[in-house]
Structure 1
Amino acid sequence: MAKNALQAQLLKAGLVDTKKAQQINKQNQHAKRTGEQTDAEVKQALAEAQRKKLQKDQQLNLEKQRALEEKTLKANIIQMLKQHRLKETDGDIAYQFVDNGKIKKIYITQKLYDQIVAGHVAIGRLEDSYALLPRPLADRINEKMTGFIVVANTKSEKQMDEDDPYAAYVIPDDLIW
């Protein structure tokens, strides 16, 4: 009755009855006659599907890993901003700067104002507020991830053009209107 060893073993174990074994034989013969996929083609298609699924899973794992690394880096930067920001910055002098296309204003002391203009102090974005940071720390944060440092003035000297008729007139950077 059973055409292969597996069917014979299943029949002996009582897992399959003779009617079920005959039905499976008929289905196999019908599949061969009608040109349906053979076992080798099915195995190949299954292996291809598993390979694609494995590749897709690896890609998703890489994306999740990158997102997790970015999230931890952001958390580390926020922690650095909170720990190293300058204290006692409240003052009477208003410093205006541009953040995301909007003009923002913070009130600081004259000493801090001069340090920001000179480039010794930078302004960093800290959640819903701003933090004043020493310039070396701001540079390290900017190297790790951009977007946290809003204002970091440079200390470079401007080159004067010889043909510029207004070269003798100095335009101050710290005008207060």
Structure 2
Amino acid sequence: MSNSLRDQLLKQGLVSKDQVQKAEADKRKHRKQAKKKQPQAAQQMTEAERTRKLAAKRQAEKIARDRQLNLKREQERQAQARKAQLKELIESNQVAREPGEVSYNFTHGKRIKRLYLSANQHKQLVAGKLAITCFKGTYYLVAPEVAERLRKADESLFLHRNPPPSEADDDPYADYPVPDDLMW
């Protein structure tokens, strides 16, 4: 009873031995091809997976670049807004320079700069009641409070301010006035 279909067909004479051998050979051939195709299919799957992973990696890199670019743009926007605020602060609180013939020398970086001011403004600068600040290559006279705010906001804007004279100075010669006709 356990005769296979092949044996039954051979007994009845419906197929020849050559046909059975050919069928078995074809069957073996198909099995070998199926085994060879399985690694190719697996390889194709791994290539598809690699492609997906590569696409996902590229997408993640693009998102990271976009975030960095947006962060940089936002920082630039904030810096511009900050500069605009500082410019507004300087321009709204500047003391108009009165043209004069008295020069006031101060340092800007490693260079000595000179401003020509009126005698009154010169005295105020010397006394520490005015300060000098520079914004985009232009020098402005501002109140000391404004200069302090500028120094806190951006050190590069603040240039020069004389310290106010202290009342604690014990000048031993304060009681002795300098004669007007003294020549050096």
Q: Shorter-chain TM-score: what band?
A: 0.5 to 0.7
TM-score normalised by L of structure 1: 0.63
Shift in Å, 1:156: 7.4
Deviation per CA, 1:87-131: give whole Å up to 9, x if none.
242222100111132211111123322222232211011333211
CA distance in 1, matches of 2:97, 2:114: 17
CA distance in 1, matches of 2:133, 2:160: 7
Aligned-partner residue type, residue 32 of structure 1: Q
1:86 is aligned to 2:95 = yes
Deviation per CA, 1:31-74: give whole Å up to 9, x if none.
93795652222212211111111111101111111111111211
- Identity among equivalent positions (%) equals 21
Q: Does 64-73 or 115-124 show the bigger shift?
A: 115-124
CA distance in 2, matches of 1:146, 1:32: 68
Q: Which residue in the other structure is 1:17 paired with? A: none
Q: Flag structure 1 segments of 5+ consecutive residues without an equivalent.
A: 1-28, 158-167, 169-177
Q: Secondary structure at the match of 1:66?
A: helix
TM-score normalised by L of structure 2: 0.61
Aligned residues between the structures: 133
Q: Which residue in the other structure is 1:103 paired with? A: 112
1:151 is aligned to 2:160 = yes
Q: Which residue in the other structure is 2:48 paired with? A: 39
Q: Secondary structure at the match of 2:99?
A: coil
Given that 1:32 and 1:38 are in contact with CA atoms closer than 8 Å, whether structure 2 keeps it comes out as: no
Which protein has the bigger helix share? 2
Given that 1:85 and 1:132 are in contact with CA atoms closer than 8 Å, whether structure 2 keeps it comes out as: yes
The equivalent position to 1:72 in structure 2, one of 64, 75, 81, is: 81
